[in-house]
Amino acid sequence: MAMKCPKCNTENPQEAKFCRCCGYAISSEGNIYTERQRLQQENDRLKNEVRFFESSLTRERLKLKDEIEKQETKIKKLEHELHVLKFNVPIRKPIKPQIITKEIHKCPVKTHVKYILSIILFIIIGVLSCYYIYNKEEHFKEQVAFYKPFEVLKISIKDDYDKGTNVIWYDEATFIKPHLTVVGFKDGRYKVKAKVYRNDGFVPIMLRGWVYGTLILKRNNSSPIDCSFEGIYDIKKGVITQFDMKEFGYEERGHWEEGDYLIEFWYKNICLGKEEFKISKK
């Protein structure tokens, strides 16, 4: 039976004491001991290398772990600053980046939603208030228009030359023509009555005006019973209208007496306005 050399693995006869290739003592007990020691040393050396590699690996892991933690901290800090810039929140030092990041995600959104809902609520309240005020004003205007469908804004008196004046010369006085500027509250055709008064006995008082007991209503042949003259006019709602009323007076001069006069304008039992004028000599 052949015997292999433990060193070079060459087959040798069974009775051989030395390897025919490398000369190694195959059957020597000392060689067996020597080989055992060599293997033991080789094993120790490998164990030392393993321990060295393990310790090196542990150190590298610790270094990498510290570096990873630093990078994670930087990333969280950058995320925090990004959210701060996005939501316009004052920069604060993040003690607990994870908790603060959650707060930054939640709080500004809730705050913005509250602001938006508040603005929408105020707009709705404002619109409803305006609508209520508008309806109330329109209802009030309808009530006023039922009794007084239009308002006289301006009164002027025109003479024979169609010139607006408050002083008419006695020698030239024949007809007077009132010119009215009105604003309508309700569409319709309305009868306006004019009453011309002459002050027969002027009594001075503290306020500028007339003592009505001394006024005489002037009428001519075409005058109604209760006024000097009247006319029917078209007035539109919300529109300022100007019109000349019917002429009042006499074809011949001299019928107007010199003095102070007052003309009043009436709709039903409501006095719309009054204007003073004077007949005077040059």
pTM above 0.85, yes or no: no
Task: Decide: helix, strand or coil at residue 76.
Answer: helix
Q: Single out the residue of 249, 244, 243 nearest to residue 223, CA to CA.
A: 249
Task: Concatenate the DSSP letters of all residues of 28-69 into one string.
Answer: -HHHHHHHHHHHHHHHHHHHHHHHHHHHHHHHHHHHHHHHHH
The token duo for 14 is 């069974």
Neighbours of 196 (CB within 10 A): 23
pLDDT tens-place string over residues 175-195 = 889 999 999 988 999 999 999
Nearest to 185 by CA among 237, 255, 132: 237
Q: Contact 274/193 with Cβ under 8 angstroms?
A: no
- Tell me which amino acid residue 147 is: Y
Q: Write the Ramachandran bin of 273: left for phi over 0, alpha for psi from -120 to 50, otherwise beta.
A: left
Q: What count of other Cβ atoms lies within 10 Å of the Cβ of residue 206?
A: 5
**pLDDT tens digits, 47-104:** 888 888 888 888 888 888 888 888 888 888 888 777 777 665 555 555 555 544 444 4
